Structure 1
Amino acid sequence: MIPKDPVMLLSYVNTQLRDFYPSFAAFCEDKSLSAEEITAKLAGIDYEYDTGRNQFI
Structure 2
Amino acid sequence: MEIHHPERLDAHILLGIVNERLRLSCDNLGELEEDLGISGAQLEHKLGAIGFHYLPEQNQFRREGE
Aligned pairs (5 A) from 1:1-57? 1=3, 2=6, 4-57=9-62
Structure 1 length-normalised TM: 0.89
Percent of paired sites with the same residue = 30
Moved more, 44-53 or 32-41: 32-41
Greater percentage in strand: 2
| Structure index of larger Rg | 2
Divergent runs of 4+, >4 A: none
- Superposition RMSD in Å: 1.3
Structure 1 unaligned residues grouped into runs of 5+: none
Structure 2 length-normalised TM: 0.78
The structure whose RCO (Cα within 8 Å, separation 6+) is larger is: 1
The aligned length equals 57
For residues 16 and 24 of structure 1, what CA distance do their matches in structure 2 show? 10
